[in-house]
Chain A
Amino acid sequence: MTTTHLGMPTVASDPHGHLRGTESFPVAAHRALADTQLRQNLGHATRTIRAKRAAVVGEVDDWEELRRAGECLKADVMARLPELLEQLEASVTARGGVVHWARDAEEANRIVVDLVQETGADEVVKVKSMATQETGLNEALGAAGIAALETDLAELIVQLSDDRPSHFLVPAIHRNRSEIRDIFLREMPDVDPDLTDEPRRLAMAARAHLRRKFLSARVGISGANFAVADSGTISVVESEGNGRMCLTLPDTLITVMGVEKIVPTWSDLEVFLQLLPRSSTGERMNPYTSTWSGVTPGDGPQTFHLVLLDNGRSNVLASPDGRQALHCIRCSACLNVCPVYERTGGHAYGSIYPGPIGAVLSPQLTGISGPDDVNASLPYASTLCGACFDACPVRIDIPHLLVQQRAAAVDAHTRPTAQDVAMRAAAAAMATPGRFSLAERVVKLGRLLGRSGRIRSVPGPGAAAWFGARDMPPPPAETFREWWARRERTRRDRT
């Protein structure tokens, strides 16, 4: 069995939580690339999901119009974020919820630990949430003697094997079915010893393992996919029903959400509830979406806390372009189409936000402390092929953001290399939307400028090791888009 355990402190010593690994992307990627099993697992899973997504997106004839609406809705939210948050606070409070504010991960964790301690519970059930992964809440609860039970199947796999999530949607995407069976056999005390690796049997084992916990849980902890400012409605999108269990059965519900998850009105959800399921699991609709507003007498938790988390988001908001990274609805489509992610997996990014969006979000959330900051290497975790933009349901121009952040890193250098200059030119070209292919050509210029035909000096710590590991001269002579177009032409000619 392969274990890819990359260095990440188990207790978040950084007030930002789990937004930074302990080694640079090239170093971590180098090791991941050597793991054949990991590459096979990722290749299989991402191929499956890409095909499913393409099929259900193809059914929707107004997909591009939905994407454009999603993009502008998010841009509107950013322009009115403080006012919308105050409105959300008022709506939630009016419906019996209690709103808390957290400057950083540490503060959010402290708030949640205190709230759980007030209930006297020593165990909580959790539905998968990127926000609490980000803050390292489970470790904080553990330090306070409170057991946090992850209930999402993939999170459970990660938790049982003392691993780290490597994908937004399927944190255990790096595990195949037989590895999952082995983990269950080893870690679930009452599991059937004849458990097979049939996915249905594995799902049943998870059901049996968690059932009693759900039915007796007193405190549930969740994230939020969306929060509607004018009605105070919170929404959680899920598949297994573990979310419904956590949101419905406990007496107390604590929801932790990043401040950017807000949408102005209920009807705006009509855009996102179409974009999200088709982009993430490749389904017309995910099995379960729950929405609730404050406390409903006689139904569900009678105490509801909403924790609004900044943790660097205000840094990101201050950048006119960079704030696009806050538009992300965590569908993971950009991960699934990324040729780099597909080969390295999520752990190599260090931060709990992997893939193309992680590469532009994490460094902005933490800020870059200097050339040795491991997050400074993340904007280089890309071939700039543009597939992430095409897949993104809210049209985040990730390639543009990547180039921009590389350029920002370059500005810190005293003597620019040929590649630096090309990167800056590319950033300028990409400032105008629609000129991306021109920018791609400029990046290739960097290749011409390189003295030996190989790029020897790439800004960003250890980047050369990354390129070395991939054993190819980047940027490629042919961009991904050109390659794709050529491949499509060849395929058409053949049929």
Chain B
Amino acid sequence: MTARDEVLARLRAARDAGGSTSPAVPREYRRTGTLPPGSAAAVARLDETLTDYKAAVHRVRTEDEVPGAIAAVLRDAGATSIVVPAGLPAAWLTAYDGEVRTDGPPLSVADLDATDAVVTGGAVAIADTGTFVLDARAPDQGRRAISLVPDHHVCVLRADAVVSSVPEALARLDPDGPLTFVSGPSATSDIELDRVEGVHGPRRLDVVLVGPV
């Protein structure tokens, strides 16, 4: 008997012995959030929750202000080189005067490690938790390594990507992934269970939030 057949046979026998009646799952929790998607209130809440977990948030009213905001953040960090996914809107980088490395064809890990920052878009953001989600297959987000290896991540989020709750976010995402849920810069709670920022992932996280201020 193969391990597969044996494990399945054991589990079937055990399941039948222990009971095979599935309970109905009560879905009485909130599946739509308290704040309307894309609303000024949702964006304001996201600002708060991102900031609370040590992301730096930069609010701009319109898409036209994005290039200036990105350039200002990169200048402040002293980033002389950045990597961007192949599908990042070119207009976003017009005010940045450092070196732009486009990840197509793919850069090596060593190249990524020698790059100061990465600029991406985001698929969806969750106001309640201060989270944004990167979809590796979205052209403006790119494969996972580019938003992981550089030590500084700048993410541009539009108001229409902002939802209030976790269920609303998952409903917008494709489980075929790969997806990365990001809530603040890398951190650890491993020393006396207190949160300290800055371990293996990007230690600096800036979010440019486009929408009603």
Binding site for B on A (CB under 8 A): 41, 44-46, 48-49, 52, 62, 65-66, 68-69, 72-73, 75-76, 78-82, 85-86, 95, 100-103, 107, 151-154, 157, 169-170, 172-173, 176-177, 180, 199-200, 202-204, 206-207, 210-211, 214-215, 228, 231, 233, 239-242, 244-245, 247-249, 259, 266-267, 269-271, 273-274, 277, 281, 283-293, 296, 298-300, 308, 310, 313-320, 322-323
Instruction: Assess the A296–B178 pair: CB atoms within 8 A.
Output: yes
Q: Give CA–CA (A296, B149) in the complex, Å.
A: 19
Instruction: Assess the B193–A207 pair: CB atoms within 8 A.
Output: no
Instruction: Assess the A248–B144 pair: CB atoms within 8 A.
Output: yes
B167 in the interface (beta carbon within 8 A): yes
Instruction: Assess the B3–A240 pair: CB atoms within 8 A.
Output: no
Q: Give CA–CA (A49, B195) in the complex, Å.
A: 10
Q: Give CA–CA (A85, B7) in the complex, Å.
A: 10
- Given known A45-B193, A153-B188, A289-B180, contact A68–B198 (CB-CB < 8 A): no
B72 in the interface (beta carbon within 8 A): no
| Across-interface contacts of A78 in B (CB, < 8 A) | 15, 18
Q: Give CA–CA (A177, B3) in the complex, Å.
A: 45
Among all A-B residue pairs, the 6 with the closest Cβ atoms: A241-B201, A241-B200, A240-B199, A318-B14, A285-B129, A317-B14
Q: List 8 A-B contacts (CB under 8 A).
A: A52-B193, A65-B29, A101-B6, A102-B7, A170-B190, A247-B144, A266-B173, A299-B137
Distance in Å: Cβ of B194 to nearest Cβ of chain A = 6
| Across-interface contacts of B23 in A (CB, < 8 A) | 72, 75-76, 79
Q: Give CA–CA (A313, B18) in the complex, Å.
A: 12
| Across-interface contacts of A267 in B (CB, < 8 A) | 167, 170-171
Instruction: Assess the B183–A203 pair: CB atoms within 8 A.
Output: no
B102 in the interface (beta carbon within 8 A): no
CB-contacts of B124-182 with A (<8 A): 126, 128-131, 136-137, 143-145, 148-149, 166-167, 170-171, 173, 175-182
Distance in Å: Cβ of A310 to nearest Cβ of chain B = 5
Q: Give CA–CA (A86, B191) in the complex, Å.
A: 40
Instruction: Assess the B18–A320 pair: CB atoms within 8 A.
Output: yes
Residue ID in chain B nearest A268 by CB atoms: B25
Task: Please indicate which of the listed interface residues B113, B129, B171 has the most CB atoms of chain A within 10 Å of its own CB.
Answer: B129
| Across-interface contacts of B192 in A (CB, < 8 A) | 41, 44-45, 48, 176-177, 199
Instruction: Assess the A248–B148 pair: CB atoms within 8 A.
Output: yes
Q: Give CA–CA (A296, B23) in the complex, Å.
A: 35
| Across-interface contacts of B26 in A (CB, < 8 A) | 65, 68-69, 72
Q: Give CA–CA (A101, B180) in the complex, Å.
A: 28
| Across-interface contacts of A284 in B (CB, < 8 A) | 49, 53, 128-130, 183
- Given known A76-B22, A82-B8, A153-B191, contact A270–B170 (CB-CB < 8 A): yes
